[in-house]
Amino acid sequence: MTTPTLIILIGFLIFLGHYLAQLFDKTKIPDVVGLMLVGALIGPVFHLIEPATFGRAGRVFSNLVLVFILFESGLEVRFEQLRAALRGTLGLTTLNFIVTSLLVAILGQLFAGLDFLSALILGTILGGTSSAVVTTLARKVTILPQTSTTLVMESALSDVFTLAIPIALISFYTGSSLNVTSLVSHLASSLVVAVLAGVGSGYLWSLLLNRVPTLLMTRFSTPAFVFILYGLVEMLKFSGPIAVLFFSITLGNVALLRPNRLRQYLPARHVELTAMEKDFFAEIVFLLRTFFFVYVGMSFVLDNGYLIALGVVIAVLLFLVRIPVVLATADKYTPQFDMAFMSVMIPKGLGAAVLATLPAQRGMPSGSTIQTLTFAVIMATTVLCTVLFFLVEKRRLLGFYGWCFGRYRPLDATQVTPPPD
């Protein structure tokens, strides 16, 4: 494809993104599917552009999108929502990861001919959720703030599991040693250090904005600081996405971070992002997510009909087992609508696609099978997630989910009685 044609295509995709967003506002048909289908037509169907053409730039772009989306989402989270969401987030993230990994591993071993360790690698790669898809859809529907926060945090926290565990298992498979104690220690330290780095950096940045007013004159100073934070945390082998999420949460709640005992040592006021800056970030996120989902569609590999069909079956089963996972981790005040929405929020993202390429790169015999199955599950879960989202949002499936979760629960957020303090 020539450079002028590529530039025309970029302009067309921007118009398409705006059109699909407006269509979503009118019809509630998610724009994610349309963008991914366009990407699939451009890439694996007509081969107009190959993802390999972008090289490392594609990986950098996906991380850039994730940073902006998590940053913008965290700005809207309040500490009281975070406190309420933490009660169920850790349980939901851990239980969903375990159940998903074991189910996928069993199916991969029985029906894809994978050995046990290869099947477990496949399961752990698919154990998380896509931050880009979850945060996009969670802001398009009326649910309790703590429900939205739980889902956003789950997608970020699951990255800790889906990055560390598959890589450790791949290293063990290819001859390196596997130390369970060091793996658990790494997971815990990755979470704790990332949270502390995010909170500390958010508070530090608010002080810098207060002390150096010229920083307020440039809209890209805060994104630049976020990029530095993400890069440094990732270089130290901790979780960059979690650090960014808690950085933005801190900025959104910075006025609450002045303990009385420390007021004499701290500035008299804090500077938060203005409404104009938040709108600016929202526009950037819109453009980036448009290209992101097109890129995801371009990244799919469609070369084995049986494995693709198996991936679709696995995706359907994952949505079914998600129901008891949500039921086991949600508190009794969560409305039926919120629980139904939580049950469909299990799309797999580009992170899983990147990890799926590692086994083949490391010379594992089952590498191509793992990659094809992973891409099939990513496409199937994303499409099913958006379709089920549409049906749930239209209240078409609340009878089914009401039967699953118990009709004694409130129907939606308008009927919730706040729990006693």
Report yes or no on 20 lying in a domain.
yes
Q: How far apart are CA 325 and CA 100, in angstroms?
A: 10
Report yes or no on 5 lying in a domain.
no
Spatial CA neighbour of 277 closest among 196, 222, 329:
222
pLDDT band for position 31 (cuts 50, 70, 90): confident
Token pair belonging to 57: 């730039």
Report the first-to-last Cα separation within the chain, whole angstroms: 61
Report yes or no on 8 lying in a domain.
no
The pLDDT value recorded for residue 204 is: 87
Which amino acid is located at 165 in the chain? I
Residue 419 has pLDDT above 60, yes or no: no
Domain holding 145: CATH number? 1.20.1530.20
What are the respective helix, strand and coil percentages of the chain, to the nearest 5?
Answer: 75, 0, 25
The pLDDT value recorded for residue 269 is: 46
Segment 211-230, tens digit of pLDDT: 777 776 676 788 889 999 99
- String of DSSP letters for 157-175: HHHHHHHHHHHHHHHHHTT
Range of the domain at 43: 14-411
Which of 30-39, 243-252, 320-329 bottoms out in mean pLDDT, i.e. has the lowest?
30-39
Burial per residue of 113-130, b for 16 or more beta-carbon CB atoms within 10 angstroms, e otherwise: ebeebbbbbbbbbbbbbb
Q: How far apart are CA 324 and CA 268, in angstroms?
A: 49
Report yes or no on 417 lying in a domain.
no
Token pair belonging to 287: 């453009």
Segment 132-161, tens digit of pLDDT: 788 878 877 888 888 888 898 888 778 778
Q: How far apart are CA 67 and CA 77, in angstroms?
A: 16
Q: Give me the sign of the Cα torsion angle 366, 367, 370, 375.
A: negative
Q: How far apart are CA 166 and CA 169, in angstroms?
A: 5
Report yes or no on 170 lying in a domain.
yes
Domain count, the chain: 1
Report yes or no on 2 lying in a domain.
no
Residue 243 has pLDDT above 60, yes or no: yes
Average pLDDT (288-298) is 79
User: CA dist 365 to 103, 174, 359, 371, Å?
Assistant: 22, 10, 8, 12
Burial bucket for residue 110 (CB in 10 Å: 0-12, 13-18, 19+): exposed
Percentage above 70 pLDDT, the chain: 80
Segment 82-130, tens digit of pLDDT: 776 677 788 999 999 999 999 999 999 999 999 998 999 999 999 999 8
Average pLDDT (21-37) is 74
pLDDT band for position 284 (cuts 50, 70, 90): confident
| 130, 351 Cβ separation under 8 angstroms | yes
Report yes or no on 3 lying in a domain.
no
Whole-structure pTM value: 0.74
Q: How far apart are CA 311 and CA 317, in angstroms?
A: 10
Report yes or no on 362 lying in a domain.
yes
Q: How far apart are CA 112 and CA 99, in angstroms?
A: 19
